[in-house]
Amino acid sequence: MEDESEIYDGIRAQFPLSFGKKSKPQTPLEAIHNTTRRSTSDQQSPAANPAADSFPSLSSSSKAWIDSVRPNPNPKPHDSESDEKLVGPPRPPTIEEDDDDGDLIGPPPPPSVVSALAIDHSGSRVLSGSYDYTVRMYDFQGMKRDLASFRQLEPSEGHQVRSLSWSPTAGFFLCVTGSAQAKIYDRDGLTIGEFVKGDMYIRDLKNTKGHISGITCGEWHPNKKETVLTSSEDGSLRIWDVNDFKSQKQVIKPKLARPGRVPVTTCAWGRDGNSIAGGIGDGSIQIWNLKPGWGSRPDIRVENAHSDDITGLRFSSDGRHLFSRSFDGTLKVWDLRQMKQSLKVFEELPNHYAQTNITLSPDEQLILTGTSVERDSPIGGLLCFYGRDKLELVSKVGISPSCSVVQCAWHPKLNQVFATAGNKNQGGTHVLYDPNMSERGALVCVARAPRMKSVDDFEVQPAIHNPHALPMFRDQPSRKRQRQKILKDPVKSHKPELPMTGPGHGGRTGTSSGSLLTQYLLKQGGMLKETWMDEDPREAILKYADAAEKDPKFIAPAYAETQPKTVFADSDKEDEE
Q: What is the pLDDT of residue 21?
A: 53
Q: What is the pLDDT of residue 329?
A: 93
369 contacts 399 by C-beta, under 8 angstroms:
no
Residue 469 lies in a domain: no
DSSP secondary structure letter of residue 270: -
427 contacts 453 by C-beta, under 8 angstroms:
no
Q: What is the pLDDT of residue 576?
A: 54
Residue 564 lies in a domain: no
Dist. CA 338–CA 463, nearest whole Å: 84
User: In angstroms, how far is the first alpha carbon of the chain from the final one?
Assistant: 117
Amino acid letter, 209: K
Residue 463 lies in a domain: no
Q: Quickly list DSSP for 289-311.
A: E--TT--SS-SEEETTSSSS-EE
* Number of structural domains in the chain: 1
Residue 273 lies in a domain: yes
Q: Cα separations (Å) of 459 from 76, 240, 453?
A: 83, 61, 12
Residue 137 lies in a domain: yes
Q: How many CA atoms lie within 13 A of 264 on its CB side?
A: 31
Residue 309 lies in a domain: yes
CATH number at residue 428: 2.130.10.10
Residue 500 lies in a domain: no
Residue 382 lies in a domain: yes
Q: What is the pLDDT of residue 539?
A: 84
With b for 16 or more beta-carbon neighbours within 10 A and e for fewer, the 385-419 pattern comes to bbebeeeeeeebbbbbeebbbbbbbbbeebbbbbb
Please tell me the pTM assigned to this model: 0.62
Q: What is the pLDDT of residue 18?
A: 65
> What is the full per-residue pLDDT of the chain (577 aa) written as tens digits?
455 555 554 444 444 566 665 555 555 656 655 655 545 444 444 444 443 343 333 344 445 544 554 555 454 444 444 445 566 667 666 544 444 545 555 567 788 899 999 999 999 999 999 999 999 999 988 887 778 899 999 999 989 999 999 999 999 999 999 999 999 999 999 999 999 999 989 888 888 999 999 999 999 999 999 999 999 999 999 999 999 999 899 999 999 888 888 999 999 999 888 999 999 999 999 999 988 878 778 999 999 999 999 999 999 998 899 999 999 999 999 999 999 899 999 999 999 999 999 999 999 999 999 999 988 888 889 999 999 999 999 999 999 888 999 999 999 999 999 999 998 888 999 999 888 888 888 777 766 656 667 777 777 777 777 766 666 666 667 788 888 888 888 788 776 666 666 555 555 554 455 556 776 666 666 665 666 667 788 888 888 878 777 777 766 677 777 777 777 676 665 555 5
Q: What is the largest CA-CA distance in the chain?
A: 146
Query: Domain limits at 134?
Result: 114-447
